[in-house]
Amino acid sequence: MSQSQIKIARQVQNETLLDVRDLRVEYLSPKGPVRAVDGVSFSIAPGEVLGLAGESGSGKSTIAHALLRVLRPPALITGGEVRFKGKDVLSLAEHELEAFRWQDISMVFQSAMNSLNPVMKVGDQIADVLVKHKKISKKEAWQRAGELFDIVNIDKKRLDAYPHELSGGMRQRAVIAIALALNPPMMIMDEPTTALDVVVQKEIMQQIEELKEKMGFSILFITHDMSLMVEFSNRIAIMYAGEIVEMAPAREIFENPLHPYTKGLISSFPPLVGPKHKMTGIPGSPPNMAEPPTGCRFHPRCTMCQPVEKVVNPTLQEVLPGHWLAYHEGMPGV
């Protein structure tokens, strides 16, 4: 809020579109609060694609929902700061949120079938957004919807279709069209292609890439597929059990992963070319977030664990220029 706080703000680049600091989200449960997101900090520059990778339950989607302030009880934002173009998102009032959502940040969800209304024509669903936010007539809105369909490569005639009449790929394109409707400077994409086949996935990811080049929006890209993430993102943040354990440029994280979890995650995706070698994945299973392990949360599954990590949770530090790591003194391989 105060000027001094903004000064302290860690800024990767001079210009920051979104700055998240020390975000904490808890789910309240009868057995006590479950901390799903625990002190996460990152920032996104204009036009940048930041990838958020991690397994299910690591808190990726919770962050996305927290940024848009669409979390519902029992989830609660218990701390931290989110600034979008200097605006404090967490203190926005309900009527301010209406303008903030979709005009500043829009979102594409994983399952297009569930984010479209099955009993409304797709065209109406796009027009709705425009009528509500731009205060234009319904006729103008339909015309603009047609233009949006052009942008995402769907025949304008399909505006009259109901969601079930469209194929999976087309539905996801329609959802992207809705997200583009107000030309927002940032988009959150939560597993946008996970439910789709690879060929359709490639088509849609390329289209998003082209649109991004043309319109210059930033993307917070969430997926568990490391291969897709490395191809598509500029920077990648790796999450484990509600914390970011490593953050670096995409190539860097793929070629020079430092955290044992990142290494394991990359070795969980067998390559398509090159010699065949044994891949190990990661032993054990993801932690129960109601009772997270002490110290470093990854230590029960870590093959390079040191005694200190069972007690002290390492903090995220910049170990190489632009390469952040949850780091302990004397960590092997660093």
Partner 1 sequence: MTQSVADNGQQASSPKAGEVVLEVRNLTKHFPAGTFFKPKVVKALNDVSFTIRRGQVVALVGESGSGKSTTARLISRLMPPTSGEIILRGKNVLKTEPGRPSLSYRKEVQMIFQDPFGSLNPVHTIEHHIERPLHIHKMLKNRYPLERVHELLSTVGLTPPEEAARKYPYQMSGGQRQRVAIARALAVEPEIILADEPISMLDVSIRMGVLNLMEQLKEERGIGFLYITHDLASARYIGDQTMVMYTGYVVEAAESRELMEQPAHPYTQMLMGAVPNPEGGLIKKKAEARGEIPSLTDLPPGCPFATRCPKVMDICKKSMPGKEYLSKDGDHWVRCHLYGPGEEPATAKARAAVKTPAAEPDKGN
User: What minimum distance in Å lies between the beta carbon of 55 and partner 1?
Assistant: 4
Residue 303 in contact with partner 1, rule: CB under 8 A: no
Which residues face 323 on adjacent strands? 320
User: What minimum distance in Å lies between the beta carbon of 25 and partner 1?
Assistant: 20
User: What minimum distance in Å lies between the beta carbon of 201 and partner 1?
Assistant: 7
Residue 225 in contact with partner 1, rule: CB under 8 A: yes
Of residues 16 through 55, those in contact with partner 1 by CB under 8 A are 55
Which one, 193 or 313, has the nearer CB to partner 1? Answer: 193
Amino acid at 295: G
Residue 59 in contact with partner 1, rule: CB under 8 A: no
Site string for partner 1, 240-259 (x = CB under 8 A): ----------xx--x-----
DSSP tag of 160: G
Residue 268 in contact with partner 1, rule: CB under 8 A: yes
Span of 109-117, 262-270, 312-320, 326-334 interacting with partner 1 by CB under 8 A: 262-270
Residue 228 in contact with partner 1, rule: CB under 8 A: yes
User: What minimum distance in Å lies between the beta carbon of 138 and partner 1?
Assistant: 31
Return the residue of 52, 145, 154, 226 that touches partner 1, per CB under 8 A: 226
- Taking only Cα atoms into account, the Rg of the chain, rounded to an integer number of angstroms, comes to 21
Residue 209 in contact with partner 1, rule: CB under 8 A: yes
Query: Helix H segments across the chain?
Result: 3-8, 60-67, 94-103, 112-115, 122-134, 138-151, 168-180, 198-215, 226-232, 250-255, 260-266
Q: What are phi and psi of 269, to 5 degrees?
A: -115, 105
Of residues 143 through 172, those in contact with partner 1 by CB under 8 A are 167-170
Which tokens sit at 180?
A: 């583009």
Which one, 64 or 250, has the nearer CB to partner 1? Answer: 250
Using CA atoms, how far residue 291 sits from 24, 98, 231, 233, 296, in Å, is 16, 36, 35, 32, 13
Cβ atoms within 10 Å, residue 14: 6
Which tokens sit at 2?
A: 């105060």
Site string for partner 1, 275-294 (x = CB under 8 A): -x-xxxxxx-xx--------
**Order of strands, edge to edge, in the sheet holding 18-27?**
34-44, 18-27, 75-84, 87-88
> CA dihedral defined by 194, 200, 201, 202, rounded to 10 degrees?
170
Q: Which residues contact 95 (CB under 8 A, 6 or more apart)?
A: none
Residue 224 in contact with partner 1, rule: CB under 8 A: yes
Binding stretches for partner 1 (CB under 8 A): 55-57, 167-170, 197-203, 206, 209, 224-228, 230-232, 250-251, 254, 264-265, 267-274, 276, 278-283, 285-286, 301
